[in-house]
Structure formats: structure tokens, C-alpha cells
């Protein structure tokens, strides 16, 4: 079942997995909201390292810029803009929390069983290209130009909408 | 090696699911959502290297996902600030006016 060769990739994978899961579990269990966001940023950075391990350098740097940079700072802005007394409120509904734990564990069991039962076999070796960024750019601007343009429209609409929503009502 | 990445992504997704369902602070719910999106990204990139037909398309799709997630985070924080102005709290169980 777990017949994994201890290679360099496996060791690095294990280190990054520890960082990611540690950050995620700390995010769930810490007391203060700002600390939660910081531990989440650690998990995002670990994921970026994992992407480098998977030959996806461009996505790794996008991850650092967007998630570890922009989204974390946006969440901290959200915390600062709304009033927090520092402490995250404790859940008062034990039944609700127990059901959430059971649901998450059931989903994990299902996924784990599916992953273990599947037979993944790679037929070809992965060629990330001479220059990962160049290859992604060529693919993006030749094969996927329509989704790219749709995404740019989506981003524009979303940010205008965000400004319109967060703008103070003139009363 | 692929199943290790998939298992890690499953763990991340389930932690995110638990945080989304059980946390009361709306900002933490948003962060848990981002965690779930990141688990999906990890799956896409793992399959782009170790899948049956390895190609760059998985990395491209993960970039699309990151873009949509950034738009979602911006909109969500804006809605949260508007809700905070209206209700004076960010606890999700206080936003229940439509249930009454």
C-alpha cells in the first residue's frame, strides 16, 4: 500500500506537507483571527513550494503573489475594517460542530478510499518545456485565448462590483 | 507519488470543509474556502505532472482557478464590509434575516 521509495522528492514533499497541514490545522485551532490569517499564509507558501516540486514554477510564483500576498492582505484588511475584539468567538453549538467533524471525516474517508483503490499509471513523461513561463504563455495566448479574455472581463466586473459594494452610502 | 499528492489535497480539502461548516467568523469561513480552492489547485497540478496524459493544461487551469478565487475573495470581503456596516457583526449566524 505505502510502498513509497524514499527519494529526494519524497523527503521534500514530506517537509512541505508538514508545513501545509500544520498551517491549516493552526488556522483552524488558533484563538486570534490575525494569527489564523498568518498561519494560512504559511500554508499558502508551503503550497507554492509544492508547486515548484511539481515543475510548475510559474504557478508557484503566482501562488506567492496572489495568495500569500494579495489574499492574505485582503483578509487582514477585512479584519481591520470590521470590528474584532481580538478573540474569535467560540462555537456555541456542539451538535453543529460534531456534525461538521463527522461530515469532513466521512468525505476524507471516501476520498482516501477512492485514491487508494484507483490505479494511476502515467504513460508518458512530463515535459514542462525549456522555460515554464514561456510555455504557459504560448499555450495561454494560442489555445486558451477565449477563456483568458473572459477571465479578464470577470476580474474587471468583480473589482468594480467590489468597489461599488464597499463604497459608503452617501446619506 | 501521485496518490501522496492526492491524499494531501484531500486532507486540505477536508480541513477547509470543516472550517467552512463549523467556524462562526465570516473571515475564517472565507479563508477555509480559499484552502479548499488551493486543494483543488494542488490536484490539478499533480495531475498535470503525474496524470495519464501529462501536459501543461493542468497548470493553466490552476491559474484560471487562482484568478477566479482572487475575484471571489475581493467580492466576499466587500460584501462582508457592507454586512458589517448594516448589522455590526461578522458572525455568520447573525446573518439570518432571510430565514425569519
Domain boundaries in chain A?
Answer: 1-91, 129-171
Please, are residues B8 and B42 in contact by the beta-carbon 8 Å criterion?
yes
Give residue B87's pLDDT: 79
Report CB contact under 8 Å: B59, A58: yes
Higher pLDDT, A139 or A129: A139
- pLDDT value at B88 more than 70: yes
- pLDDT value at B39 more than 90: yes
Mean pLDDT along residues A1-23:
80
CA-based nearest distance A75→chain B, Å: 7
- Confidence at A158, pLDDT banded by 50, 70, 90: very high
Q: Which three cell numbers stand for residue A83?
A: 470590528
CA-based nearest distance A130→chain B, Å: 12
- Confidence at A115, pLDDT banded by 50, 70, 90: confident
Give residue A8's pLDDT: 79
Give residue A45's pLDDT: 92
Closest by Cβ to B67, choosing from A84, A99, A151: A151
- pLDDT value at A129 more than 80: no
- pLDDT value at A49 more than 70: yes
- Residue where the block lists cell 510564483: A61
Give residue A155's pLDDT: 92
Q: By the CB < 8 Å criterion, does A107 face chain B?
A: yes
For residues A31, A32, A33, A37, the Cα torsion angle rounded to the nearest 10 degrees is -90
Q: Pick the range with the lowest mean pLDDT from A101-105, B49-53, B68-72.
A: B49-53
Please, are residues A44 and A63 in contact by the beta-carbon 8 Å criterion?
yes
Q: Which three cell numbers stand for residue A116?
A: 487508494
Fold designation for A1-91: 1.20.120
Which structural domain, as residue segments, surrounds residue B43? Answer: 2-99
Q: How many domains does chain B have?
A: 1
Mean pLDDT along residues A69-94:
75
CB atoms within 10 A of CB A47: 29
Give residue B42's pLDDT: 92
Please, are residues A91 and B93 in contact by the beta-carbon 8 Å criterion?
no
Q: By the CB < 8 Å criterion, does A145 face chain B?
A: no
Label residues B13-51 b or e (16+ Cβ within 10 Å = b): bbbbbbbbbbbbbbbbbbbbbbbbbbbbbbbbbbbbbbb
Tell me what percent of the residues of chain A surpass a pLDDT of 70.
86
In the 8-state DSSP scheme, what is residue A5? -
Q: Which three cell numbers stand for residue A90?
A: 467560540
Of B62, B74, B85, which is closest to residue A48 (Cα–Cα)?
B62
Report CB contact under 8 Å: A151, B23: no
Q: In this structure, is the dihedral angle defined by the CA atoms of residues A88, A94, A99 and A101, taken in order, positive or negative? A: positive
Read off the CATH number of the domain in which B52 is found: 1.10.287.3510
Tell me what percent of the residues of chain B surpass a pLDDT of 90.
39
Q: Pick the range with the lowest mean pLDDT from A92-96, A123-127, A142-146.
A: A123-127
Please, are residues B4 and A9 in contact by the beta-carbon 8 Å criterion?
no
CA-based nearest distance A52→chain B, Å: 10
Give residue A128's pLDDT: 65
- Confidence at A1, pLDDT banded by 50, 70, 90: very low
- Nearest-5° angle of CA A120, CA A125, CA A127? 130
Q: What are phi and psi of A42, to 5 degrees?
A: -60, -40
Amino acid at each position: 500500500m505505502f510502498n513509497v521509495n524514499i527519494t529526494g522528492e519524497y523527503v521534500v514533499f514530506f517537509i512541505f506537507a508538514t508545513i501545509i497541514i500544520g498551517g491549516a490545522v493552526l488556522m483552524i485551532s488558533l484563538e486570534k483571527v490575525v494569527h489564523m490569517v498568518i498561519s494560512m499564509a504559511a500554508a499558502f507558501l508551503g503550497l507554492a513550494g509544492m508547486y515548484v516540486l511539481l515543475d510548475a514554477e510559474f504557478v508557484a510564483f503566482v501562488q506567492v503573489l496572489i495568495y500569500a500576498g494579495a489574499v492574505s492582505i485582503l483578509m487582514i484588511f477585512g479584519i481591520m475594517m470590521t470590528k474584532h475584539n481580538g478573540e474569535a468567538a467560540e462555537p456555541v453549538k456542539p451538535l453543529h460542530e460534531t456534525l461538521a467533524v463527522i461530515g469532513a471525516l466521512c468525505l476524507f474517508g471516501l476520498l482516501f478510499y477512492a485514491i487508494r483503490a484507483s490505479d494511476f499509471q502515467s504513460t508518458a513523461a512530463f515535459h514542462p518545456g525549456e522555460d515554464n513561463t514561456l510555455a504557459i504563455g504560448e499555450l495561454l495566448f494560442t489555445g486558451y485565448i477565449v477563456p483568458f479574455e473572459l477571465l479578464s472581463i470577470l476580474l474587471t466586473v468583480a473589482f468594480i462590483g467590489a468597489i461599488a459594494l464597499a463604497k459608503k452610502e452617501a446619506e | 507519488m501521485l496518490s501522496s499528492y492526492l491524499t494531501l489535497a484531500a486532507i486540505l480539502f477536508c480541513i477547509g470543509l470543516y472550517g467552512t461548516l463549523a467556524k462562526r467568523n465570516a473571515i475564517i469561513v472565507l479563508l477555509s474556502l480559499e484552502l479548499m480552492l488551493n486543494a483543488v489547485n494542488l490536484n490539478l497540478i499533480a495531475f498535470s505532472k503525474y496524470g495519464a496524459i501529462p501536459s501543461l493544461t493542468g497548470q493553466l487551469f490552476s491559474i484560471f482557478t487562482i484568478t477566479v478565487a482572487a475575484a471571489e475573495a475581493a467580492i466576499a470581503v466587500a460584501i462582508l464590509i457592507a454586512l458589517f456596516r448594516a448589522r455590526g457583526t461578522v458572525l455568520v449566524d447573525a446573518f439570518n434575516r432571510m430565514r425569519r
